[in-house]
Amino acid sequence: MVRKFIVSLLLSVFLFSNALSNVYQINIVKERKQKKSKNSFILYVVKKGDYLSEILEKFSIPLKFLYRIVEMNGIRNPNFIYPGQKLKIPSFSLTGHKARKINSDTYEKLDLLRKLGAKIDDKGYIFLGDRKISLRKNPKIIVGNREYLVDFGNLSVKDIKFLTSVGINVLEPKQLGKIIDKFIESNFSQVLKNGKFILGASDILIYKYDYLVYDTVSGRRIVINKEPDTPPALRGLLNSYGIYVVEPKFVNPNPSEGLGKLVILKGEGISKISNLLFLLTGKKFKRIEDGVIFPDLKIAVVYDSITPEESVKLKLEGNRVSVLTGNFLYDVKNILSLVPVANKEVVLVLNEPPETNGKRAQFKKRGLLITTQKRTWFMVDDVEKPEEIPYLRYRGVNLIFY
């Protein structure tokens, strides 16, 4: 059945009296007429890899409501939710209307304040006598009992005087950072600023944060950043270390760039090496008694049990012979030296944001870099955390696991 929509003007009038003038605020809201529901919740089915804090973010619910959701669902430990578990989630937004994009820097700061639980009014008007101020152009921020209005240079001296006289502090966009500082310091008992984590044993992640607070209930570490420079894939990797990131919404600076490829080499020993060589060159191989031969490449990969006579025979047929030693990586390097590809053991370094020297994060992993005419591959035997794989692929790294 088609639902009917009505648009009503809900006038919430706030009267402030002072010696100079009366100030009114009018909120204009679009309302949808719906059937009455028996409850105001939806059921969310937990998926593999979900974290409770991330589920809240999906529904635009500030982190401060975490305990309310925990209590509502009878969760004993917020760190332990399991796939298939059904959670009650409020079906209405607890965060109010979305802020409109005024400029990217201001939008990011307003978005962060909203995620932290501050109220942002960006619809309606404030009337100052015969003049009105649009909250769309000058959003109002409510933090505790204090109200702030953001001035983008479009308020007159008289406007600012009126607003100040009724308890609304007027601030410039560049002052939003101070409001964020005050909000965090007033809402969390322990706050660390401008520190860094060094995570991992073999695969090293260095991550720098603006603020670090602790969730005393779940024991999780919560990072709060003013800038949106932690991509979702990196946030997933941080989650695996028990670190949750709150920052403005991340926007991929290079959306046209696709994910890196992922190849897991199958088989064992000579079979695995043959599959690798086929992947890199596109040339087929055929099996012989002592190993495999690539006719187009004129390369024979053979077991160490081959007789000298058979080895000489293959060489006389114009083949270059590579005898396996049992050390996979050593054998791969020997074989790759016979084909037109470049290979080198390297420490791959990925910086966030890209093209910086790890302003926010730096990830390091050792592996074999292989460059062919078509693409460059990074070959590794393992990862310290499974969450490294989506991050490497997000950064465009073509992975080969052996």
Place of tokens 């791969």: 332
pTM: 0.70
- Third-level CATH fold of 41-90: Membrane-bound Lytic Murein Transglycosylase D; Chain A (3.10.350)
pLDDT at residue number 42? 79
pLDDT at residue number 208? 98
Handedness of CA 351, 352, 354, 359 (dihedral sign): negative
Question: What pLDDT tens digit does each residue of the chain (402 aa) get?
Answer: 333 333 332 333 333 334 334 444 444 333 333 344 444 677 888 888 777 877 877 776 766 677 678 878 888 777 778 888 888 887 544 434 343 345 678 888 999 999 988 899 988 899 887 778 999 889 999 988 889 999 988 888 889 998 999 899 999 999 999 999 988 988 887 899 999 999 999 999 999 999 999 877 777 899 999 999 999 999 999 999 999 999 998 887 777 678 999 999 998 889 999 999 999 999 999 999 999 999 999 999 999 999 999 999 999 999 999 999 999 999 999 999 999 899 999 999 999 999 899 999 999 999 999 999 899 999 999 999 999 999 999 999 999 999
Q: Which amino acid is at 105?
A: D
Distances (CA, A) of 217 to 50, 63, 66, 77, 282: 18, 13, 10, 8, 55
* 366 contacts 389 by C-beta, under 8 angstroms: no
Domain boundaries, the chain: 41-90, 96-182, 194-246, 262-401
> Nearest-CA neighbor of 253 among 145, 386, 394, 64?
394
